[in-house]
Copies of this chain bind each other. A is one copy, B any other.
Amino acid sequence: MKPFHSYQNPSLAVDLVVFGYSQQQLSVLLLNRKEAPFKDRWVLPGAFLQMEERFKDACSRVLKTKLGMDDVYLEQLYSFDEPDRDPRGRAISVAHYALVNPSKVAIAAGSMANDVSWFNINELPALGFDHDSIFQQALQRLRSKITYFPVGFELLDDLFTMPELHELYECILDTTIDRRNFRRKILDSEYIINTGKKREGSQNRHPDLYKFNKKLKKNSFQINV
């Protein structure tokens, strides 16, 4: 059999929309390009797919080597194929999005402090390549998914309070949600477990600490916007 790679194939890359949540803000991780094309512009992190490498492996490689992140929630988003999306030549991008807890990873003031940065999703600069539209699609997917599937927990600490989860939902969905109805829906889904502990330190009543119920795979809930 003639091996495939004797034919010419488009270049194949993964690009990553890395979402992070902290200080009641949803942010995306961007990279400042040091070379043409789009020199000095902000872009999504990404990498070319190596032979024998899975998409998720390539994504993990980027998250690990460029960003120092391990063990991250990853989901394939869409494959982008516009012939002119990369001025260097034909390049397909298989976009993914990732959900990380910024406090668990150490990007902030590392050696790449000027290269990598969190941007609030409402204050994004114009991105290079077609990364604006990749980001938009990722945001849309996240907003859709979080209303019926327990992905929000990936963005929080292992232990979190109900008000924190509630705020996360309001922030991502950019709306207000009745906290009492929200609480009931989430608790009814049984995706979170009250640990019995409480978050100390605040001046007011100490809220209960919950944890994500990892074992549960099939329950459903629906947060309406």
Q: Taking beta carbons and an 8 Å cutoff, which residues of A are in contact with B? A: 1-5, 7-12, 36, 48-49, 51-55, 76, 78-79, 81-83, 86, 88-92, 94
Contacts and interface: CB of A to CB of B under 8 A. Distances in A.
Contacts of A53: 83
A7 B48 contact: yes
Contacts of A52: 83, 90
A79 B76 contact: yes
In the complex, the 9 A-B pairs of residues with the closest C-beta atoms, listed nearest first: A4-B11, A4-B89, A9-B9, A3-B89, A55-B81, A79-B79, A1-B88, A5-B8, A52-B83
Contacts of A4: 10-11, 86, 88-91
Contact of A9 (B5, B78, B83): B5
15 contacts: A1-B36, A3-B89, A4-B88, A4-B90, A5-B8, A7-B48, A9-B10, A9-B12, A9-B49, A52-B83, A54-B82, A55-B79, A76-B78, A76-B79, A79-B94
Given A76-B78, A79-B79, A79-B94, A8 B51 contact: yes
A11 B7 contact: yes
Contacts of A55: 79, 81
Nearest to A78: B76
